């Protein structure tokens, strides 16, 4: 049949449902196009060096294009330079690096974090709470996307009389996140932000247990999180659209390979604020 | 000639024991000093201080004319002090030559000169007529070969002071003769030698002077010519020992134990013998004859290929030690450190261990009152010198450790007791106690199998003697017809190799 | 005389299998609690205490299992992965509609198989424990990932409400169930270890395998039992994790095996085998938990927490060694002799 | 006679410190390569090979360090954290404008201090290696986090171009510099281990500490040297990581200590000490790398990769034990005696 393009999707790891959804979107596009040889490469754990190995492997594996969710903006740039030198086209999904790619399809994490902050602030104010302590349960300080979310969240509270406590890290482990959130509640916080799926689940569970006073808001969409929102333990979650990233990413890659215009340099795939009411 | 070593008022304590109490010691160039004493008298401790292994608590040392305060194994070595320790101290993974030169490797341009070390080691081994390839890993050698390596290693230093702490405990008669020749040669060269042994018969061949320690205290020293063995023993023990090999009579009754056609590997081949009520059966043989392997196979510690075992006429299936123990057969193993004791556990735990089937209920709950009773009885019966049964076993002296091992097996009613070298490294008085235990069992009608490499005790204690060579029983002798020469003849009856 | 006997009885208790260390670190624990209660007004609220106890539970449970294994002179690196595997198996089954209690049963069975594998690889196939459990650690994590086809599971749903209550959220007599579960498991295993024949055998195997073998101890079954206990405890933690999050997380339990070692060792269980008691593990796990909780309240960044925890692990063990050698020095001065220095005896 | 001697020479080489295992696993490696080259057309392309070699480098380097430590009968759990610490220290310094080569020097010094700490805690303070390095593992990770105030660093910038070329991106004579660096380090340490007095002492200490001590070997300095080598190798990997990413990552090196153990052990280095050669570590690291690379290309999900790798670790060691015990049976059948069964000797 048609000349096959070799496209690799490289994510941060293979553990999150988020990545699986990116992959699913990509597969959908691949199926539609019919002329793509597609493979998902993922390191076993989130690790810059391992992601770079994946990039190198993709180059060695004859890639025509790479869809990349960069661990961080800086780490992969040199490896990408080598990729470009080998004629590989780069499309960013989820998280771009500081290196020119053909297109970036991503959530604007900082904006999304800001949005989460504003939602929380709105909810607090509507309950008549205008000051107090807030907690952040984050994954770690090493992953750019979650750090950006946190920054956005913090920015939303600048100039208010809320104080944000020292961020606590759970590596995204739901059980550990729950412990951290429970400790925050003991400290008397009025609101908690969970920066990814695991953090959000832990936050929701801690609030569920402590009773309704504290308001929790989170990030990412999973069935468990939606459940917690429905039950009223979480105010909202910032749902991204990973399948769109994968789907449009593959399409853009093929467009580039076929010499066509893939469209704008940056595509915000957006977040939707999922609350009890919007579900 | 002047003293090359002068130790004055040396004291040394370990938790709970004063191992040495104001002991003074001298050694002259060109003499062989026999350092004697019961187990735990402090012989090894004194020599470890002289060789830098332990540091003294009090006292002063003058070595080769120099006042020395602090010694390490390395500085001691550099001063010309070589020691053959009581325990084997070799690296199993290294070859014989590498062990011999450990810490003093020969170099060429800063890198190891393996060829030269192998060559020198070969020469050394040949000089002392030790038949070992210097390039074999030590881990592949038998215990006696290891002991020879240990000796060769000590001799490879041009030592002015040579300490031998029970060097012959694992050697064959021929190897011992060889060692004595070496000792005489070194003495002639002006080397001062300290010789520690519980085999008092050996002394007459080499020793010039004896020094006796008891309970960490200096007792006396005198030229060997001016004393007798029984006087030495009296000094060691603090009393006289009437009989070195007490023998008791008992009526010989029916068969209580029988092994038929036992095979287990190369060293246990077609072994058949029986034990009767009222007799002690000894197994004699050279080192490596397969005696230990035979006892282990019987006991179920090693797998059997074929053979039957009968206790009181009934066949018992023994696949692992617990089967043997339940059938009434127990083994006091040869290697105390390796097989006998859980050193970190208390004396009480050790004694209770093989008896937990009695001490525990069906559900496995241990009856602690009964456990305490059992252990306290054992400690009393065997006169184990320990203040408190909760003390860790490794703080006991060798002889007392051996008693713990014996007592843990005799705390239960067994039909047959196998003793594998129960007196190795044990002082005369303790030996007699062990013999008495065996005699006692014999009189009670319990079968006793007694493995030993020391012919005098085999001849002195057993009623019937099995001689082994090359994994086979080559002869069965009644004690009345047996002599050392006869036993040796059958012990060297090797099969013709193809 | 009577007095002397009493004194020696006391000494005996202190000397017994690491009781000394337990006492030393208990002082440390009390010290930490005092410091944190000054630093933070919430620390001693009943809410925080009850929370704290529940946070200690997983470390203590895995610590119990690890202590059993350490006492036999081995190690279990697979604990964290077994936690993850149990979490995923139980949650996956529940999301597929299996009755929670059946799911729990199946999960225990699966993990016990992993424990059995560990035990047999080590005792029968004679693999070094470090290697065998490094292998099963990776395998169990792989299983955790594969069970639900490389996804964390969905919510285990309403049907599992009772399960979640039982393992985590519910309270009985004012105390969280998790704490009760931990207490019961501790009591059972403490009894097993200190009062039964198998308990004695575990110590004997750890102290001298050969001597134990010749004393009629079934080495293989004893070691296997230790690994089964470890797997059982890890599974319980896995189930608690599922109950906590209401879902299965493939990553769950990551690193728990090391916390378990830390808890055991801080509490006086020797990595060389033959020594330690479960009371120590309680203190060790508590120190660990109090540090985590207290440092969070104190607002210490993770970096500082890591450094503090690392230093505390080292210091407690150092302290123990120092105390022991001082006891010795009081009576005798030893230099480099083999018996007095643990490191000299130490193999890996 | 002459023939016999020659034969025994060959046998001797094979028997030598785990050479047998090296040969066995080399067959395994070749087998894997064959399988993967059938599964994947790109596997044997020069680009992939050169890539693969560069991917093996970090595992091999940390494996060299770990092998040194294992040979002395100890273990180094801090390797991964030292990688992270080195990565962060070097990158932070460079982002603060320090000349790259000075940053490299400072990084080596800092890590060697960590190695020194490990060595002294174990050899002087007599801490069990597992505990000491568990502590320093946490501390070093804390340092990695604190150096740049709990953030990954920014890009190390243009000024570090040369540094990045040197450690990772550049090529010399057609081979990546990383590979050259690894080769040189391997040659040096292989020489040290097999040809020098210190090397001999490392084996002696691991084989029988007490005997080595009595033979005048300086235990403390020997063990410390092993940890210094380990820290040196880990630092080099940390610098390679910095060069690779062009920035400092606090998480870098997470888990590498275990890969290093796996590489060493697969290659025949015994965790019981006294045994192993660095040639084995090369084969072990290669198997590890080939598996990772090959399975990834084969599209195996992480779950399967984990399971396969776990099984392979267990199987290679099992195979070695089997081969060795078979050899022995040829001579004499022994079962439960200390010499023949590693597990029976094994402490932790
Ligand atoms: N490392 C040690 N720790 C504790 N106690 C020890 C140690 N070494 C020796 N002892 C004790 O010191 C005393 C003297 O022991 P030593 O080994 O010197 O006796 P010995 O005369 O060599 O006995 P044997 O004939 O049994 O070898 C004994 O009570 C022994 O238990
Ligand atoms: N693990 C082993 N591998 C190879 N050969 C061995 C092993 N263990 C023992 N042997 C050999 O088996 C033979 C029998 O040893 P064993 O210790 O049973 O003899 P023994 O008659 O009891 O002598 P001893 O007086 O030393 O106890 C010896 O030649 C010994 O070298
Ligand atoms: Mg002695
Ligand atoms: Mg024997």
CA–centroid distance, B165 to ligand 3, in Å, is 7
pLDDT digits (tens, 9 = 90+) for D188-224: 999 999 999 999 999 999 999 989 998 889 999 999 9
* pLDDT value for D223: 97
User: Could you tell which of B14, B336, B402 is best to mutate to test the pocket of ligand 1, judged by most ligand atoms within 8 Å of the CB?
Assistant: B14
* pLDDT value for C61: 98
Structure tokens at D267: 């290659």
Residue in chain B lying closest to D71 (CA): B93
More confident residue, A31 or C16: A31
Q: How many CB pairs under 8 A join A and D?
A: 96
* pLDDT value for D343: 32
Rounded Cα distance, B28 and C236, in Å: 71
CA–centroid distance, D128 to ligand 1, in Å, is 26
More confident residue, B272 or B172: B272
Averaged pLDDT of chain B: 88
The ligand placed nearest to the CA atom of residue B302 is: 2
CA–centroid distance, B287 to ligand 2, in Å, is 8
pLDDT digits (tens, 9 = 90+) for D220-257: 999 999 999 999 999 999 999 999 888 888 888 988 99
Whether residue B447 contacts residue B414, with contact meaning beta carbons closer than 8 Å, is answered with: no
Return the ligand 2 atom nearest residue B293 CA: 18
User: Could you tell which of D15, D329, D331, D334 is best to mutate to test the pocket of ligand 2, judged by most ligand atoms within 8 Å of the CB?
Assistant: D334
Rounded Cα distance, D82 and B3, in Å: 56
Q: How many CB pairs under 8 A join B and C?
A: 109
Q: C49 falls in which pLDDT band (50, 70, 90)?
A: confident
Structure tokens at B328: 């009434």
Rounded Cα distance, D90 and A79, in Å: 19
Return the ligand 2 atom nearest residue B420 CA: 27
Q: B495 falls in which pLDDT band (50, 70, 90)?
A: low
Its ipTM equals: 0.82
More confident residue, A156 or B426: A156
* pLDDT value for B295: 95
The answer to whether the CB atoms of D307 and C135 lie below 8 A apart is no
User: Could you tell which of B40, B214, B393 is best to mutate to test the pocket of ligand 1, judged by most ligand atoms within 8 Å of the CB?
Assistant: B40
CATH assignment of D46-150+164-322, among 1.10.3470, 1.20.120, 3.90.1720, 3.10.450: 1.10.3470
Return the ligand 1 atom nearest residue B41 CA: 21
Structure tokens at C256: 């728990």
Q: Give the range among B233-237, B422-426, C340-344, D223-227 with minimum mean pLDDT.
A: C340-344
**In whole angstroms, how far apart are CA A210 and each of A214, C58, C161, C237, C241?**
8, 20, 16, 22, 18
Q: Which residues of C touch D146 (CB under 8 A)?
A: 301, 303-304, 307
* pLDDT value for B129: 82
CA–centroid distance, B191 to ligand 3, in Å, is 22
Rounded Cα distance, C215 and B409, in Å: 9
**In whole angstroms, how far apart are CA A5 and each of A90, A248, D47?**
13, 16, 19
Q: Which residues of A touch C81 (CB under 8 A)?
A: none
C-alpha angle C291-C294-C298 in degrees, rounded to nearest 5: 125
Q: Is the pLDDT of residue B267 over 80?
A: yes
Structure tokens at B59: 């006292």
Closest CA to B213 of B489, B464, B21: B21
Return the ligand 2 atom nearest residue D331 CA: 4
Rounded Cα distance, A117 and A162, in Å: 11
Interface with chain D: mutation pick from B80, B100, B102, highest number of D CBs within 10 Å: B102
pLDDT digits (tens, 9 = 90+) for B187-240: 999 999 999 988 888 888 899 999 999 888 999 999 999 988 888 888 887 776
Whether residue B273 contacts residue B462, with contact meaning beta carbons closer than 8 Å, is answered with: no
Return the ligand 2 atom nearest residue B334 CA: 27
B3-237 shares its CATH topology with B255-491? yes
Q: Which residues of C touch D145 (CB under 8 A)?
A: 301-303, 306
The answer to whether the CB atoms of B354 and C216 lie below 8 A apart is yes
The answer to whether the CB atoms of C215 and B352 lie below 8 A apart is no
* pLDDT value for D15: 57
pLDDT digits (tens, 9 = 90+) for C148-203: 988 888 888 888 899 999 999 888 998 999 999 999 999 999 999 999 999 999 99
Domain borders along chain B are 3-237, 255-491
Q: Average pLDDT, stretch B150-165?
A: 89
- What is the CATH class of B255-491? alpha beta
* pLDDT value for C339: 33
**In whole angstroms, how far apart are CA D94 and each of C151, D101, D146, D165, D170?**
40, 9, 16, 15, 19
Q: Is D4 in the pocket of ligand 2 (CB under 6 A)?
A: no
Q: What is the pTM of this model?
A: 0.84
Q: Is B267 in the pocket of ligand 2 (CB under 6 A)?
A: yes
Q: Is the pLDDT of residue D175 over 70?
A: yes
Rounded Cα distance, C242 and C92, in Å: 10
Residue in chain B lying closest to D270 (CA): B93
Q: Which residues of A touch C301 (CB under 8 A)?
A: 166
Closest CA to A95 of A199, A16, A218, A11: A11
Q: Is the pLDDT of residue C7 over 70?
A: no
DSSP β-ladder status, B81-84 and B161-165: parallel
Closest CA to B462 of B484, B442, B489: B442
Q: Is the pLDDT of residue B12 over 70?
A: yes
Q: B88 falls in which pLDDT band (50, 70, 90)?
A: confident
Q: Which residues of B touch D337 (CB under 8 A)?
A: 296, 302
Q: Give the range among B429-443, B459-473, C71-85, D312-326 with minimum mean pLDDT.
A: D312-326
The answer to whether the CB atoms of D333 and B94 lie below 8 A apart is no
Q: Is the pLDDT of residue B269 over 70?
A: yes
Closest CA to D78 of D230, D284, D274, D272: D230
The answer to whether the CB atoms of B74 and D218 lie below 8 A apart is yes
- Which of D42, D169, D252 has the CB atom closest to A49's CB atom? D252
Averaged pLDDT of chain D: 86
Q: Does A20 touch chain D (CB under 8 A)?
A: no
pLDDT digits (tens, 9 = 90+) for B284-319: 987 778 899 999 999 999 999 999 999 999 999 999
Q: Is the pLDDT of residue B39 over 90?
A: no
Q: Is the pLDDT of residue C334 over 50?
A: no
Q: Is the pLDDT of residue B247 over 60?
A: yes
Return the ligand 2 atom nearest residue B143 CA: 26
- What is the CATH class of B3-237? alpha beta
Q: Among the residues of C99-218, which ranges form H helices?
A: 100-123, 129-147, 161-164, 177-195, 197-207, 209-214
CA–centroid distance, D15 to ligand 2, in Å, is 21
The answer to whether the CB atoms of C12 and B388 lie below 8 A apart is yes
User: Could you tell which of B10, B17, B399 is best to mutate to test the pocket of ligand 1, judged by most ligand atoms within 8 Å of the CB?
Assistant: B17
* pLDDT value for D130: 87
pLDDT digits (tens, 9 = 90+) for C136-147: 999 999 999 999
Shortest alpha-carbon distance between residue C258 and chain D (Å): 8
Averaged pLDDT of chain C: 85
- The residues with which B306 forms a beta bridge, in sequence order, are B263
The answer to whether the CB atoms of A202 and C245 lie below 8 A apart is yes
* pLDDT value for D333: 30
* pLDDT value for C16: 60
**In whole angstroms, how far apart are CA B367 and each of B364, C46, C196, C207?**
9, 41, 9, 22
pLDDT digits (tens, 9 = 90+) for B363-389: 889 988 989 999 998 888 888 888 788
**In whole angstroms, how far apart are CA A180 and each of A275, C18, C168, C293?**
23, 33, 15, 8
Whether residue B446 contacts residue B476, with contact meaning beta carbons closer than 8 Å, is answered with: no
* pLDDT value for C315: 87
Chains that touch A (3 or more CB pairs under 8 A): C, D
């Amino acid at each position: 049949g048609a000349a096959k393009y070799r496209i690799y999707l490289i994510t941060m790891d293979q553990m999150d449902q988020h990545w699986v959804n990116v992959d699913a979107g990509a597969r959908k596009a691949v199926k539609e196009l019919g002329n793509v040889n597609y493979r998902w490469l993922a390191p076993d754990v989130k690790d810059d060096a391992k992601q770079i190995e994946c990039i190198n492997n993709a180059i060695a594996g004859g890639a025509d294009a790479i869809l990349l969710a960069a661990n961080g903006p800086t780490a992969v740039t040199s490896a990408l330079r080598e990729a470009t030198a080998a004629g590989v086209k780069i499309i960013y999904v989820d998280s771009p690096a500081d290196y020119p790619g053909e297109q970036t399809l991503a959530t604007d994490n900082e904006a999304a974090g800001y949005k989460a902050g504003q939602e929380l602030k709105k909810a607090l104010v509507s309950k008549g709470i205008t000051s107090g302590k807030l907690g952040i349960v984050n994954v770690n300080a090493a992953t750019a996307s979650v750090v950006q979310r946190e920054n956005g969240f913090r920015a939303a509270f600048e100039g208010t009389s809320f104080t944000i406590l020292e961020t606590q890290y759970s590596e995204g482990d739901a059980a550990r996140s729950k412990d951290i959130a429970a400790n925050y509640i003991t400290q008397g916080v009025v609101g908690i932000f969970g920066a990814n799926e695991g953090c959000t689940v832990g936050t929701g569970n801690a609030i569920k247990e402590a009773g309704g006073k504290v308001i929790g808001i989170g990030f990412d969409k999973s069935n468990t999180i939606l459940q917690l929102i429905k039950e009223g333990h979480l105010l909202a979650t910032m749902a991204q659209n990973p399948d769109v990233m994968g789907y449009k990413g593959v399409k853009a890659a093929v467009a580039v390979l076929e010499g066509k215009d893939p469209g704008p340099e940056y595509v915000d795939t957006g977040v939707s604020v999922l609350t009890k009411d919007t579900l | 000639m002047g003293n090359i070593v002068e130790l004055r008022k040396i004291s040394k304590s370990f938790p709970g024991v004063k191992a040495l109490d104001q002991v003074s010691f001298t050694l002259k160039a060109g003499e062989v000093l026999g350092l004697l004493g019961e187990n735990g008298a402090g012989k090894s401790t004194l020599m470890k201080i002289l060789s830098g292994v332990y540091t003294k608590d009090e006292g002063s040392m003058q070595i080769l004319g120099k006042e020395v305060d602090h010694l390490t194994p390395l500085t001691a070595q550099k001063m010309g002090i070589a020691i053959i320790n009581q325990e084997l101290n070799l690296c199993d993974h290294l070859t014989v030559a590498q062990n011999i030169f450990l810490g003093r490797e020969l170099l060429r341009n800063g890198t190891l000169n393996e060829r030269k070390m192998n060559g020198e080691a070969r020469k050394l081994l040949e000089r002392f007529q030790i038949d070992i390839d210097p390039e074999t890993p030590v881990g592949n050698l038998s215990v006696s070969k290891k002991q020879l390596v240990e000796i060769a290693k000590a001799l490879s230093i041009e030592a002015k002071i040579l300490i031998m702490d029970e060097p012959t405990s694992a050697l064959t008669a021929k190897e011992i003769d060889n060692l004595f020749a070496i000792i005489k040669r070194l003495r002639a060269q002006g080397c001062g030698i300290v010789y520690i042994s519980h085999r008092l018969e050996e002394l007459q061949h080499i020793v010039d002077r004896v020094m006796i320690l008891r309970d960490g205290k200096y007792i006396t020293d005198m030229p060997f010519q001016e004393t007798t063995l029984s006087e030495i023993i009296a000094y060691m023990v603090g009393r006289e020992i009437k009989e070195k090999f007490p023998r008791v009579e008992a009526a010989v009754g029916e068969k209580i134990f029988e092994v038929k056609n036992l095979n287990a590997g190369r060293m246990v081949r077609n072994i058949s013998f029986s034990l009767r009520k009222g007799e002690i059966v000894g197994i004699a043989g050279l080192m490596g004859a397969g005696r230990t392997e035979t006892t282990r196979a019987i006991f179920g510690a090693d797998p059997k290929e074929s053979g039957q075992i009968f206790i009181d006429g009934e066949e018992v299936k023994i696949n692992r030690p617990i089967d043997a123990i339940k059938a009434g057969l127990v083994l006091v193993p040869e290697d105390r450190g390796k097989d006998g004791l859980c050193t970190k556990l208390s004396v009480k735990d050790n004694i209770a261990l093989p008896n937990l089937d009695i001490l525990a209920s069906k559900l496995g709950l241990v009856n602690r009152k009964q456990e305490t009773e059992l252990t306290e009885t054992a400690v009393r019966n065997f006169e184990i010198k320990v203040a408190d049964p909760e003390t860790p076993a490794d703080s006991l002296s060798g002889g007392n450790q051996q008693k713990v091992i014996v007592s843990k097996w005799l705390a239960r009613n067994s039909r047959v007791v196998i003793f594998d070298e129960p007196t190795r490294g044990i002082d005369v008085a303790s030996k007699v106690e062990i013999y008495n235990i065996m005699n006692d069992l014999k009189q009670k009608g319990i079968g006793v199998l007694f493995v030993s490499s020391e012919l005098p005790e085999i001849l002195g204690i057993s009623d019937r003697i099995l001689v082994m060579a090359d994994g086979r029983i080559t002869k069965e002798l009644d004690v009345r017809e047996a002599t050392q020469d006869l036993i040796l003849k059958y012990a060297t009856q090797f099969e013709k190799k193809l | 005389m009577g007095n002397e006997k009493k004194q020696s009885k006391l000494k005996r208790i202190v000397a017994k299998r690491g009781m000394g260390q337990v006492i030393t670190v208990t002082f440390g624990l009390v010290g930490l609690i005092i410091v944190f209660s000054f630093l933070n007004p919430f620390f001693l609220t009943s809410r925080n205490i009850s929370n704290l106890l529940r946070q200690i539970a997983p470390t203590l449970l895995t610590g119990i299992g690890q202590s059993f294994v350490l006492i036999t002179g081995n190690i279990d690196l697979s604990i964290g992965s077994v936690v993850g595997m149990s979490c995923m198996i139980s949650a996956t089954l529940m999301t597929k509609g299996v009755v929670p209690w059946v799911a729990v049963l199946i999960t225990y069975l699966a993990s016990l198989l992993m424990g059995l594998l560990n035990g047999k690889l080590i005792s029968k196939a004679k693999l070094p424990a470090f290697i065998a459990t490094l292998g099963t650690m990776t395998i169990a994590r792989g299983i955790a990932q594969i069970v639900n086809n490389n996804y964390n599971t969905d919510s285990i749903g309403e049907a599992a409400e009772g399960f979640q209550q039982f393992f985590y959220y519910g309270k009985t007599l004012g105390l969280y169930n998790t704490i009760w579960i931990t207490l019961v498991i501790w009591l059972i295993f403490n009894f097993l270890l200190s009062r039964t024949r198998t308990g004695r055998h575990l110590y004997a195997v750890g102290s001298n395998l050969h001597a134990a073998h010749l004393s009629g101890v079934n080495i293989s079954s004893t070691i296997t039992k230790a690994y089964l206990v470890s797997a059982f405890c890890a599974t319980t933690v896995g189930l608690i994790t599922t109950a906590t999050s209401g879902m299965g997380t493939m990553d769950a339990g990551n690193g728990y095996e090391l916390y378990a070692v830390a808890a055991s060792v801080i509490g006086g269980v020797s990595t060389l085998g033959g020594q330690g008691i479960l009371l120590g593990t309680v203190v060790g796990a508590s120190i660990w938990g109090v540090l985590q909780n207290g440092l969070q309240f104190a607002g210490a960044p993770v970096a500082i927490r890591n450094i503090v925890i690392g230093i505390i692990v080292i210091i407690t063990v150092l302290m123990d060694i120092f105390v022991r050698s001082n006891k010795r020095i009081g009576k005798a001065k030893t230099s480099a002799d083999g018996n007095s220095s643990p490191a000299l005896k130490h193999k890996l």
